[in-house]
Amino acid sequence: MKKSTFTFLLAFLFLMQGIAQQVVQEQRLLITKRTASWCPNCGTWGWTLFENLLEDNHEKAVLIAAHYDGVLATAAGEAITDNFGGFYQPRFFVDETDQNASSGNIGAVRNSVRDQVNAAFAGSVIANVGFAPVYANGEIKVDAKVKFFQAAQGEYYLGIYLIEDNVTAFQSGIGSNANHMRVFRESFTSGAFGTQILDGSATAGQEFDLSYSLAIGSPEGLDYDVIGIIWKKEGEKYLPVNAWSNDQINTSTAVAEPTGLLNFTVAPTVTATVTNIQLELLENQADASIDLFDLTGKLVSNIYSGPLSKGLQNFELNRETAGGNGVYLVRLSVGSKVSTKKVVFH
């Protein structure tokens, strides 16, 4: 699984705010482990099953370990598992459905969950959410977009939550230094199920924009993930509609342009084949790089790395290097300073 990164700078973030809130038409089930740090079974067969579910499904589903009691407990984690009807532990839910896992059937449950995830991922999508988390001024900020891909009727909510991997804490059955994964840490709202986005009818293609923030200490060195869950309220229950995650939490700790950069352009910015990267330097640069990133913050290609001479420099970027159609970000780095431009291959 990817770790959270905190290396992208403000120029990149402003571009991300405008274009990274794309909403992907994919269906991801929510897999929830109801657990407690003092629970022996949570650290034995329940631990093994959760590791298996992570291995099988992390690319097509969103998984959380919601501690309702013990040293990692949260009020929101308890509320969500109570909503699903969990009364003991460990319990495993796919969306709101208890998988009735036990020490004697973990192989069968593993196979069943994998089949459910694959079927859902290949199926139709009612709605989904997209967002690009940003850490600045002591807060993680999330500007989210919800899009309905089908007409819908009812009461819908969006919850945004903080998840953490590689948490060292006690777990009965393992000991004091257990490495906990997908720990449900915080809700971005006071209510466990987030903000109401619809109470009535939505048309296919309709979108809703929402903003969230969570006060938190510096995330440097921590393995955070922000997830979004769209809920539909039916009676007193909240049922998952879709879930999304983004483990790229960006920071805005530096904003200066590279020293001696007179001009930096990418043209054309929208192309079917090839674009030209041009930069003009007022002085020689001993160490520079030009990199291509996708909208999740993943490095796609290193276009250039090394010294740059003063004057005009040209580099060619084609669609094959990018890996196909999509929106990408070209980042020029000189030391700790960066400048970023957008390019779209279609």
pTM score above 0.85: no
Q: Does domain 261-345 have CATH number 2.60.40.10?
A: yes
Q: In a structure prediction context, what are the per-residue pLDDT tens digits for the chain, which is 346 residues long?
A: 344 444 444 444 444 444 446 899 999 999 999 999 999 999 999 999 999 999 999 999 999 999 999 999 999 999 999 999 978 999 999 999 999 999 999 999 999 999 999 999 999 999 999 998 988 777 898 999 999 999 999 999 999 999 999 999 999 999 999 999 999 999 999 999 999 999 999 999 999 999 999 988 767 667 899 999 999 999 999 999 999 998 877 765 444 445 566 677 888 877 889 999 988 888 888 888 898 887 656 788 999 999 888 888 899 999 888 888 887 888 888 755 667 777 888 7
Spell out a b/e string for 295-305, using b for 16 or more CB atoms within 10 Å of the CB, else e. bebeeeeebee
Look at residues 160, 149, 161, 143 and name the one whose alpha carbon lies nearest to residue 210.
143
Nearest-angstrom CA–CA distance, 93 and 327: 35
Task: Classify the C-alpha dihedral 152-83-27-24 as positive or negative.
Answer: positive
* Contact in structure between 344 and 271 (CB atoms under 8 Å): yes
Nearest-angstrom CA–CA distance, 282 and 194: 51
Can you name the CATH fold of 10-251? Immunoglobulin-like (2.60.40)
* Contact in structure between 45 and 10 (CB atoms under 8 Å): no
Same topology, domains 10-251 and 261-345? Answer is yes
Q: What is the CA radius of gyration of the chain?
A: 22
Task: Classify the C-alpha dihedral 317-262-254-341 as positive or negative.
Answer: negative
How many Cβ atoms from other residues are within 10 Å of residue 92's Cβ? 23
Domain ranges of the chain: 10-251, 261-345
Look at residues 162, 163, 180 and name the one whose alpha carbon lies nearest to residue 37.
180
Sequence-distant (6+) residues with CB within 8 A of 108 are none
Look at residues 161, 103, 154, 157 and name the one whose alpha carbon lies nearest to residue 131.
161
Nearest-angstrom CA–CA distance, 300 and 289: 13
What is the DSSP pairing of strand 29-36 with strand 61-69?
A: parallel
Nearest-angstrom CA–CA distance, 32 and 66: 7
